[in-house]
Amino acid sequence: MFLQRFGLRRLKIKDCMTKEPTTLRPTTHVLTARRIMGEEKIRHLPVVDGKKLIGIISERDLDHYAAVYKNKDIDREVMVEELCIFQPYAVDENTELVKVLPAMRENKYGSILVTKKGELSGILTYIDVCRILERVL
């Protein structure tokens, strides 16, 4: 009812995602990933090789590995490709928002990668979803 009332039932991911997100190459060092996250105030970075989507790395992933490998300076010694999540949850940009919300909630996804013709076109984060709700409330 709520979604229909505000016209959100047919809202496409491409209409609420962050377009052209900052990305990392697989060979980027973890230190650089942390710096970018801090500077841009973001928590998720897609990993791409050219235009091909490889995976995603999150601030939570970096913190987890830092705790696990206490004796290793992962920031300087490890590349993103060693820690990123391969085959992340990704959807086509024409997918309706209402269809991905259950997956975000049930799997506790902080972000979903968005593709167009198999190439990365954006990222949908829980912040983007909150922004949409802010507009209608």
The structural domains of the chain, with segments of one domain joined by +, span 2-136
Domain 2-136: assigned CATH number: 3.10.580.10
How do residues 21-75 score in pLDDT, each as one tens digit? 999 999 999 999 999 999 999 999 999 998 889 999 999 998 888 787 776 676 6
For the cut 80, the answer to whether the pLDDT of residue 131 exceeds it is yes
Nearest to 13 by CA among 114, 134, 136: 114
Residue 6: the pLDDT is 56
pLDDT average, residue stretch 91-112: 95
Alpha-carbon dihedral 40, 100, 118, 93, rounded to 10 degrees: -80
CB 100 within 8 A of CB 124: yes
Structure tokens at 44: 């998720």
Pairing of strands 119-125, 111-116: antiparallel
pTM for the complete prediction?
0.86
Which range (8-12, 13-17, 118-122) has the least confidence? 8-12
Residue 71: the pLDDT is 66
CB 74 within 8 A of CB 30: yes
